[in-house]
Amino acid sequence: MKKIIIKLTLIIILISGLMTLLSSCANSSTRIAFFKYQGGDTFINEMMEYMIARVPDGVEFEVRDAGNSQSVQNQQIVELIESGFDLFVVNAVDRLASSTIVARCAADGIPVIFFNREPLEDALIGNENMFYVGADADGLGRRQAEMVAELFTEHFAGSRFDRNDDGVIQVAILKGEQGHQDAERRTDNCVARLRELGFTVEVMAIEVADWNRRDGFEAMRRLYERHGDEIELLFANNDDMALGAIDYLLYRGIFTENINAYDQPFIIVGVDGTTVGLEAIDRGLLFGTVNNDSVKQSEAILALIEHILGDIGFENFPFEITRGHYIHVDGDIITSANLSDFLP
C-alpha cells in the first residue's frame, strides 16, 4: 500500500506541474501532436487516452492514426510540421523509420518523444530533445517466466501441470511482431529465464499474431490443431493476443469461465496489464500478466513535455534517463493474488 501511495503522490505532482505549464502556454498557442501506429491496439489506446485527458483546455493537440502504414505516418508528420506544431509524441509504425523522423523534425527544431517502439540508437544520440519512453522489454519477458516459476516451483516433473509427465515444459508463444524489438526480447527472455531457473523447456511453436486479439484467436486455432493437449504453457507478448487465444479456447469449450486459472487445461501468461487483461485474470482465464505500466510511461512522457516546453533543466527530473535519451520502465507481476492492487 505504501508503494501505491508513493506512486500516486508522484503522479499528482507531475500532473500538477504539467497542467500549470501547459495552462501558462495556452495563450501562446502551444500545439502538441500525438501519432499512433494503428487504432486497434488496446495498450496504445490506453496510453493515448491517459495522456490526452491531461492536456488542459486551451492547448491545441491532434491525434493521428497511421493505420499501420509508415508512409501514411510520414505524410502525417510532414503535414503537422508544416502546420507549426511545437512537439511530437510518436508511436512509430516502423522503428527503422525513426532516423528519418528525427532528421526531419530536428531540421525544424521540433522535439520528439518516441514511445513503445524503440528507435535505433543512432537516431537519438547527438540530437537534443529527442527521447524514447518504453518498457524494459528484457525485464517483462523475464518476469513472465518468474511468475510461472512461482506456480510450477522446481518440481514441475510429476506435477499436474506436466501433462505428458516428461519433466519438460512444452511452451507455445504468441509473438507480437516479427522484428519488433519488444516482441523479440520478450520472446527470448521468457524462455531463457525459465531455463536459468532450472526448468527444461521445449518451445513447440511460435506464432506471430501482430499484437491483436483477432490474430491471437487464429494463431491459437493453428497451435491447437497442431499440438492440442501437448501445450502446457502459453506465453503471449501482450494481453490482446492472450485474450484472442482465450476467445478460441472458450469457443471450443477447452477453457471454462470463473474457475481458478491454474485449474484450466494449461497456463496462459500475458504482458501489459490492460483493463481487459485484468478482467480476464479476475475471471480465471488468464493466469497473470506483467504490468507494462501505461500510467508510469505516460507520466514520463508528460514530464518530458513539461521540461522541454518549459525549458526546464533535467537535474531533478523524476525519472532516470539513460544514455541521455532513454527512459525504461519496469513492470510488476500481476496475478489473482495481487489483482486488487491494480484494479481501478
Question: Residue 97 carries which DSSP code?
Answer: G
Same domain, 303 and 268: no
pLDDT tens digits, 289-298? 999 999 999 9
CATH code, 177: 3.40.50.2300
The mean pLDDT of 24-31, rounded to a whole number, is 63
In a domain, 339, yes or no: no
Residue 117: which of 64, 174, 43 has the closest Cα?
43
Query: Where would I find the beta strands (DSSP E) of the chain?
Result: 31-36, 60-65, 87-90, 112-115, 130-135, 168-175, 200-208, 233-236, 267-272, 288-291, 326-329, 333-335
pLDDT tens digits, 177-203? 888 888 999 999 999 999 999 999 999
Residue 236: which of 224, 227, 226, 246 has the closest Cα?
246
Burial class (CB in 10 A: 0-12, 13-18, 19+), 225: exposed
Same domain, 229 and 316: no
**What count of other Cβ atoms lies within 10 Å of the Cβ of residue 246?**
27
Same domain, 317 and 236: no
Give pTM, 2 decimals.
Answer: 0.85
CA–CA gap between residue 117 and residue 132 (Å, rounded): 8
The mean pLDDT of 81-91, rounded to a whole number, is 97
Same domain, 209 and 285: yes
Length, in residues, of the chain: 344
Same domain, 281 and 307: no
In a domain, 334, yes or no: no
Count of structural domains, the chain: 2
In a domain, 336, yes or no: no
**pLDDT value of position 18:** 53
**pLDDT value of position 301:** 97
Same domain, 80 and 108: yes
Same domain, 263 and 308: no
In a domain, 340, yes or no: no
CA–CA gap between residue 166 and residue 157 (Å, rounded): 7
In a domain, 337, yes or no: no
Instruction: Yes or no: say if 131 and 113 are a contact pair by the CB < 8 Å rule.
Output: yes
Indicate the SS3 state at residue 39: coil
In a domain, 318, yes or no: yes
Handedness of CA 156, 248, 137, 204 (dihedral sign): positive
Same domain, 298 and 153: no
Same domain, 22 and 89: yes
CA–CA gap between residue 297 and residue 192 (Å, rounded): 26
Residue 205 belongs to domain spanning: 137-291
